[in-house]
Chain A
Amino acid sequence: MRGRNEILADIRANKPKFSAPAPDVPNYDGDYPADTAGLQGRFIAVLEKMGGAWAEPEAGEPLEATLRRALADRLDANSIIASNVGEIKGNRPVRADDTPASLHDVDVAVLRARFGVAETGSVCFTEAELTANAVAYLAQHLVVLLDPAAIETNLHRAYRRDDYKTARYTVFHTGPSATADIEGVLVRGAQGVRSLTVIPVR
């Protein structure tokens, strides 16, 4: 049995006999639109390609109504909506000390995204937005509030942020759970959520 010291000693003895410097990594985001509307357009295009949906609230429409409209064919009167955001009430609170498995009956989880990424159409959460991490995977559907002003250009910019240094858990969601493991056929909702809807909140 070789432990930490033995393994490190082997690496020291065996590693290549030269030492290469770390390269500088540019941001490669010169071609991204500088304005929020432009970035939002890029974001929506990729989000939809990855199977997500963008739901624009109509003038004067409360967000809860936007949610119901966007998920009309997936919800009924008894659906369990667990909301982590003030703007939408929901009917099932999520608490940090909920046993994860107890969240299995949630139909819709509503979360606020920390930021978005235009390059990939991703939304980012940490445990602060999730409250109980598991709700974002056990729920059947996910509804995400995103401030369009918080869309980063690409992954290089996204990784220049500090979130991952302080959060215990940071995750990019890019559309719903998906698989193509059976004869290459795309199926949404393999294990996690069956749909992901982003509502802009400015």
Chain B
Amino acid sequence: MSTPDPNQTLNSAEAVHEAQPKPAKARPGQRVDHAGAAREFLHSPVHAQSHDERVWAMRQRRDTAMETIPEWEELRDLASQIKTHALTHLDKYLEQFADNAAANGVHVHWAGDAADHNRIVHEIFTRHGVKKVIKSKSMLMEECGFRHYMEGVGIDIVETDLGERIQQLDKEDPSHVVVPAVHKMRSDVSQVFAKTLGSDPNNDDAHYLTEQQRQATRPLILDADAGMTGANFAIAETGGFVVCTNEGNADLSANVPNLHVASIGIEKIVPKLSDLGVFIRLLSRSALGSPITQYTSHFRAPKSGGEMHIVLVDNGRSKRLADERFWSSLKCIRCGACMNTCPVFRRSGGLSYGATYTGPLGLILDPSIDAYRYSNLPFASTLNGSCTNVCPVKINIHEQIFEWRQVLAEDDMIPWTKKSTLAAAGRTLASPRAYRTAIKSAHSALKHLPDWALYNKLNAWGQVRDLPEVPAEGSFHDWYRKHRMDQSESASGDSE
């Protein structure tokens, strides 16, 4: 659901001929090498800079939008509380949702895992003789490997979100939950479309390219046997669900063919219609800074003469509910704000995560899907807490990232280089005094260490970036002691 800012275009002035970095995907059973892939991305400076700027622009638009809503922080609290309420009553609300949907004439299916989901949808398609499907962007379907499954059984899936379509035509995964092709420059898109849609390889104007895709996709939309969507929210009270897009592509997918199949994660349930006021007000503002997506569509029952199916998918979610430390990650509404603000995401590009969910959101979801494969990811964070600050449902993202590091260390999932650093860090962080000494010596180390110690093979970041300037004030603690302690009676020295 990429949203546009009418006042700003980020189109680079000149055509870029730097090739898009394409990190190799980890093979099954392999560990994703995030740092390596990030290093590769940073070696393509034009792409890296463009990515950083575009993703940061979304974060800035979010801030501007947030500032126009005086009750913003209250809305975040409400959103978080509604989700806590829904998740602590999830069985009740899921049943209510499913029963209401069935009463509305919708066929409801339950899928325990990704394989169940794909098989159930395949069965529906087989019963209806479906060969051609148009599909709206859905992270859940990405999670299930749905498109690849359907390729394997000879059913044609056409993505209708522009960014997702670009990724499909380039045989690449999406790199961002909201803007799947944000890591590509228009020159890359021009190459992909020239190869796959036969457009002019020398024209990389965004309007031209978008129009090429519109013209190429429309006949496929008119000709499709079935349409698929995901859902942003499912409402127990009505048995209906909501899909938010900017292109109207979910509405085309659902309204043009007679058969509509929606894949919905069980954590998407909210109790009441009135809850939507809170979430719709937060979603697009957090994602891209617009007050709402261009289209907010509420599906409750099949259109007359049509047929509607809902597949409710668990795929590990019910298991995650049991973990005190991580269950609240199920509150996520996939706005992408945490990615847009994350310095590591901005500089490493979404493909470097080698996973469906990227950025801070990915760091807390991916290891619960496959702890070994994604064991490097919780280290792709500075733990600066910015993700937690922007999260519209108030998930303690950076704390969960830190928890994951500990879990993975206990389960022996971490390579030894990281483990020894972590053990030392753990000892240091456990003692405030040692921590402050370490910070001080790190500061002087940054000033005095020879470059070879910082820019070596073990430090992927140092190889392509300069380390930050050391603030003259030293650590926050130093600053606080100097400026605040003597003024504030209540401040106590060693309260950490």
CB distance from B421 to the nearest CB of A (A): 33
Contact of B98 among A4, A138, A165, A184 (CB under 8 A): A4
The residues in B between 228 and 265 inclusive whose CB is less than 8 angstroms from any CB of A are 235, 237-238, 240, 246-249, 251-252, 254-258
Q: Mark A6-30, 1 if CB is under 8 A from B, else 0.
A: 1110111111101111110110100
Asked if A168 meets B88 with Cβ closer than 8 Å, knowing A3-B110, A3-B112, A8-B95, the reply is no
* Interchain CB contact under 8 A, B10 and A138: no
Contact of A186 among B4, B78, B91, B240 (CB under 8 A): B4
The interface on chain A, measured as residues whose beta carbon lies within 8 A of the other chain's beta carbons, has a size of 76
Q: Mark A142-180, 1 if CB is under 8 A from B, else 0.
A: 000000000000111011100011011111111111111
Q: Mark A22-55, 1 if CB is under 8 A from B, else 0.
A: 1101101000000000000000001001110000
Which residue in chain A gives the minimum CB-CB distance to B272? A22
What is the bound-complex CA distance between A1 and B11, given in angstroms?
48
Answer yes or no: A58 CB below 8 A from chain B CBs: no
Chain B interface residue number, banded: 35 or more
Contact of B2 among A28, A127, A179 (CB under 8 A): A179
Which residue in chain A gives the minimum CB-CB distance to B271? A22
* Interchain CB contact under 8 A, A185 and B300: no
The residues in B between 30 and 76 inclusive whose CB is less than 8 angstroms from any CB of A are 50, 54, 57, 71
Which residue in chain B gives the minimum CB-CB distance to A18? B88
Instruction: Report chain B residues within 8 Å CB of A138.
Output: 252, 256
* Interchain CB contact under 8 A, B318 and A7: yes
* Interchain CB contact under 8 A, B314 and A177: no
B11, B252, B271: residue with the most chain A Cβ atoms closer than 10 Å: B252
CB distance from A5 to the nearest CB of B (A): 9
What is the bound-complex CA distance between A119 and B65, given in angstroms?
12
Answer yes or no: B472 CB below 8 A from chain A CBs: no
* Interchain CB contact under 8 A, A183 and B12: yes
Answer yes or no: B302 CB below 8 A from chain A CBs: yes
* Interchain CB contact under 8 A, B248 and A137: yes
Which residue in chain A gives the minimum CB-CB distance to B299? A169
What is the bound-complex CA distance between A187 and B254, given in angstroms?
23
CB distance from B311 to the nearest CB of A (A): 12
* Interchain CB contact under 8 A, B91 and A189: no
* Interchain CB contact under 8 A, B12 and A7: no
The residues in A between 37 and 84 inclusive whose CB is less than 8 angstroms from any CB of B are 46, 49-51
Asked if A191 meets B214 with Cβ closer than 8 Å, knowing A122-B292, A159-B274, the reply is yes
* Interchain CB contact under 8 A, B248 and A191: yes
* Interchain CB contact under 8 A, A156 and B296: no
CB distance from B28 to the nearest CB of A (A): 22
Instruction: Report chain B residues within 8 Å CB of A119.
Output: 281, 291
CB distance from B151 to the nearest CB of A (A): 23
Answer yes or no: B118 CB below 8 A from chain A CBs: no
What is the bound-complex CA distance between A126 and B437, given in angstroms?
64
Q: Work out how many contacts link A and B, with CB atoms closer than 8 A.
A: 284
Answer yes or no: B82 CB below 8 A from chain A CBs: yes
What is the bound-complex CA distance between A28 and B91, given in angstroms?
31
Instruction: Report chain B residues within 8 Å CB of A183.
Output: 10-12, 50, 54, 184-186, 189, 206
* Interchain CB contact under 8 A, A179 and B295: no
Contact segment of B141-149, B321-329, B428-436, B483-491: B321-329
Instruction: Report chain B residues within 8 Å CB of A127.
Output: 303-304
* Interchain CB contact under 8 A, B294 and A178: yes
CB distance from B118 to the nearest CB of A (A): 12
Instruction: Report chain B residues within 8 Å CB of A1.
Output: 112, 116
Contact of A164 among B240, B254, B257, B322 (CB under 8 A): B240
* Interchain CB contact under 8 A, A190 and B296: no
CB distance from A155 to the nearest CB of B (A): 5
* Interchain CB contact under 8 A, B85 and A192: no
Asked if A168 meets B273 with Cβ closer than 8 Å, knowing A179-B162, A180-B3, the reply is no
Instruction: Report chain B residues within 8 Å CB of A104.
Output: 218, 222
CB distance from A53 to the nearest CB of B (A): 13
* Interchain CB contact under 8 A, A7 and B162: no
Answer yes or no: B276 CB below 8 A from chain A CBs: yes
* Interchain CB contact under 8 A, A185 and B246: no
Instruction: Report chain A residues within 8 Å CB of B3.
Output: 178, 180
* Interchain CB contact under 8 A, A174 and B304: no
* Interchain CB contact under 8 A, A164 and B4: no
The residues in B between 153 and 197 inclusive whose CB is less than 8 angstroms from any CB of A are 160-163, 166, 179-182, 184-186, 189
Instruction: Report chain B residues within 8 Å CB of A120.
Output: 291-292
* Interchain CB contact under 8 A, B295 and A172: yes
Answer yes or no: A193 CB below 8 A from chain B CBs: yes
What is the bound-complex CA distance between A87 and B345, given in angstroms?
53
* Interchain CB contact under 8 A, A165 and B246: no
Asked if A180 meets B321 with Cβ closer than 8 Å, knowing A137-B248, A191-B252, the reply is no
What is the bound-complex CA distance between A111 and B78, given in angstroms?
35
Given contacts A11-B321, A133-B251, 17 further A-B contacts (CB under 8 A): A7-B94, A15-B90, A16-B327, A19-B89, A101-B222, A119-B281, A159-B276, A177-B247, A181-B161, A181-B210, A182-B166, A182-B184, A182-B209, A183-B189, A184-B10, A186-B4, A192-B295
Could you name 16 residue pairs across A and B whose Cβ atoms are closer than 8 Å? A3-B112, A7-B110, A8-B94, A15-B87, A21-B85, A25-B82, A100-B256, A127-B304, A160-B274, A169-B300, A182-B184, A184-B57, A185-B207, A186-B9, A190-B246, A190-B248
Which 6 residue pairs across A and B have the least CB separation, nearest first? A192-B248, A2-B112, A186-B4, A184-B10, A185-B206, A14-B322
Contacts from A to B (Cβ < 8 Å): 1-4, 6-8, 10-16, 18-23, 25-26, 28, 46, 49-51, 96-97, 100-101, 104, 119-122, 127, 133-134, 136-138, 154-156, 158-160, 164-165, 167-187, 189-193
